[in-house]
Structure 1
Amino acid sequence: MQTNQRIDGQRLWSTLMAMAEIGATPRGGVKRLTLTEIDRQGRERFAEWCQALGLTMRVDAIGNMFARREGRDPNRPPVLMGSHLDSQPSGGKFDGALGVIAGLEVMRSLNDLNIVTEAPIELVNWTDEEGSRFGHSLMGSGTWAGIFPLEKTYSLTDAEGVRVDTALDAIGYRGTEPAAPFAADAYFELHIEQGPILEREGRQIGIVTGAQAQVWYDARIEGQDSHAGTTPPSTRRDALLATARVVELVDRIMRSRGEDGRGTVGWLQVSPNSRNVVPGETRFSVEFRHPDFAQAQAMAAEFEAEAAALVAASGCAWHLTELFRLDAQPFDADCVGLVEAAASRLGLSARRIVSGAGHDAVYVARHIPTAMIFTPCKDGLSHNEAESIEPEEAEAGCQVLFQAVLARANRVLPG
């Protein structure tokens, strides 16, 4: 790596492993569901590390944490970096945590090198990126960005009926700062790719130019519970059979778009879920993604028409609720350029890439110039306890983050 200003890769890895101890699972992953006691422990350890560096911590009304390192000019808007510490129920060590801990290493390295940046720098831990407890991904960044009204977010409940505001109070992280955008110069987020492209091509860095368009639904199929042994085919209204046909439709629509299309049914409930009862109701999720918003729209339109016909032909009732429809989100050209320049200067193999996953950066980009950095992950596997990256991959991504953030914080302002 062609620079004398180096982060400490061994320290970065050790800190990643220390965070992975919190919520560690027997199969080598983590379970840090948002706003739980385990999440509180992760937040507390993160806060302790930040305070040891002399950073000033503030927490907003949705629990987003901002750790600030002052710059030479306190009046300049800060450069932000960060990600999230919450996980899926059977998540990996690096999804989200890499971006937060790499940001911490950037702060440590700035201190080690006695670098005073012109602009302040803030490290962010966004609340509930995963959405695995309250069913609303990107909750913290989305509330901050004004996508979700704060009171509506507070009213969301988990499977046990616990509200978000109650959960925040229970762990002591309903902050006093407004959960709202503030003046900031830029935002950078380091993340594992969560896909196979970088590893497959032997690239060390993904220069993320933006995120895919998405359309998400909640679906319900209403049939009729009946005895599995006495109900003949002619009178069955099998909700699960109708669901299977819809799932196949989602897959077919996805594959018709080649390698760019995405279509997934990732969550399914069957009722009454009894061995000898024809299922009378199902509830499930449906989502489509594509780099081109027009294609995502077309996939959704095709699905809506054909799914309704399939369910009707099965003798069941179809209920579809659209949750959201997001246009593709481009990232800021200047910030993307800083990432690309850093990778080139460091001699790292890199390529431009569109994010297939949603990240906090997608909502932040609506208010602040934003860019993302990807590192490879083994077999493209994520949202899985076997999720894995190599120490040198983490170091390379963190070094690019360091260079890009430093360049942005020290840039000469127009005029």
Structure 2
Amino acid sequence: MVRNDYQSPDLQGYYGEFGGAYIPEMLQRNVTELREKYLQIMQEPDFQAEFAHLLKEYVGRPTPLFKAERLSEEYQTQIYLKREDLCHTGAHKINNTIGQILLAIQLGKTRIIAETGAGQHGVATATVCALKGLECIVYMGEKDIERQAPNVARMKMLGAKVVPATSGSKTLKDATNEAIRDWINHPENTHYIIGSVVGPHPYPDMVARFQSVISKEMKAQLLEQTGSALPTHVIACVGGGSNAAGAFYHFLNEPSVKLVAVEAAGKGVSSGMSAATTQLGSVGILHGSKSLLMQTEDGQVVEPHSISAGLDYPGIGPMHAHLFQSGRGVFLSATDEEALDAAFHVSKTEGIIPALETSHAFSVLGQLNLKPTDRVVICLSGRGDKDLATYMNSGKMNL
């Protein structure tokens, strides 16, 4: 029997036992305002019309669903790539920031803050703020600023102020902490554009809805290309999990579709340097919601590790925690080395340089016992320009 709550949380924002809004008193007003108004605003015809217009004319949607002939031949199956790397700014993140900037304007907010790891969400936020003329502050871990220099330059060129997070591991978790502190200090005029399906309710649901355009297009494109709207497998990388939420969304209640989420194992799941939350985590509260997170016995967050800045996060969104716990989703992991190997292989096989995050998704193809008749869709969530320095320093480049 299919559970009917995979797609949307309950009224309190829970997917099964995960979700909710665990926030300080200073943020209650902002979060309550969002929770009470987001669905109403998103469903207004004028909002829908502008959102659709910008996705088409500015972002460049629909993105292609490309049949990867050489990979298909190699794995003796039918592999399709949902080309989110061809979105304006180079990743799926822009789908959500377009939606949230329109929402923020409707709420009368004039100042936008965001957190970013790989920099793609920061770039996407800076882009929509430039488009709409709003102030933009992006928090980014000091370590990520160093390893994602091209995206930092793009954010600054777009007019954003990039603020380094210098505490903890100096990565995505710490950038999120800083952004939340800012929001607490500026509750009146500020909207926090969270980049993934994490944070207090309604953010996980809101971000999933904005990203659901990915799977909506997949269904129509698959029907046109194969005669069936349903794939047999959808594969996506998962940190917080926004591209996976978007890729899975319209298949969540279709039990014939296998949903495969790939986490970052870092140096190895048991190495002490990993970000494989479902394998290492336990139930706890992080950044405003109850979910699975990597923590010590006394509740201290364990520092994650991944070669990919976008997956370097110690938790997972509540929707994904529910998919894991219920068994609806299959959660695998890939090490840094496996992701690097996959990146070079896809580049040389299909002429597409994927982001390091996406490379984790490609790396599990050999683990799935695929049949010739399977229809496998991989969410190619971002392009690899931002990771060229990492690729060049990996020792795998033929220089």
TM-score for the superposition, normalised by structure 2: 0.29
Q: Which has the larger radius of gyration?
A: 1
Quick one: higher RCO (CA 8 Å, sep 6+), 1 or 2? 1
TM-score for the superposition, normalised by structure 1: 0.28
Looking at secondary structure, tell me which structure has more helix per residue: 2
